[in-house]
Amino acid sequence: MSDLLASAYPWIKSLHIMSVISWMAGLFYFPRLLVNHAERDDPTGLLNTTFQEMELKLFRVIMNPAMIATWVFGLCLVFTPGIVDWSSAWPWIKAAGVLGMTWFHHWLGYRRKDFSNGTNTRTGRTYRLMNEVPTLLMVVIVISVVVKF
């Protein structure tokens, strides 16, 4: 198995990067949808229905598959011999960042359900602030992987 992972390494790494880009695009855009939804919410109107449809499709069709692919290809990279030096700090910092990103993904999913159930209590300002979370986590993850401290 390790020989297969080693020989497929460039392909796995490429697929991992593409998955991360797709996931990050959703993580950056979804909170902006929630900002607009919270600030223009009309619980029974067409705009509410439109926002809910956009949020559902973005979450289920793009973000969930991209997150799963990111995890699958990332774990393949982790198990490729010679790629990760677990005695260094960087893989642990990256892992914490990825867990944080996954938590944020699920937090967004719960907020989508709040709108769907008509129980959203958060303001546009809250969603604006939360929109910074994936950027901060991305900085931590990229620096840890590239600098490898």
- Please state the rounded mean pLDDT for residues 102-108: 98
Residue 91 DSSP code: H
pTM recorded for the entire structure: 0.92
Q: Tokens 């939360």 label which residue?
A: 130
The pLDDT tens digits of the residues spanning 12-30 come to 999 999 999 999 999 999 9
Q: Is pLDDT above 90 for 42?
A: no
- Please state the rounded mean pLDDT for residues 79-89: 91
- Which contacts (CB < 8 Å, 24+ apart) does range 125-131 have? 126/38, 127/31, 127/32, 127/34, 127/35, 127/38, 128/31, 128/35, 130/31, 130/104, 131/28, 131/31, 131/32, 131/35
Task: Write down the pLDDT at residue 44.
Answer: 75
Helix, strand, coil % in the chain, rounded to nearest 5: 80, 0, 20
Task: Write down the pLDDT at residue 140.
Answer: 97
- Please state the rounded mean pLDDT for residues 83-106: 96
Percent pLDDT > 90 in the chain is: 85
Identity of the residue numbered 71: W
Q: Is pLDDT above 90 for 2?
A: no
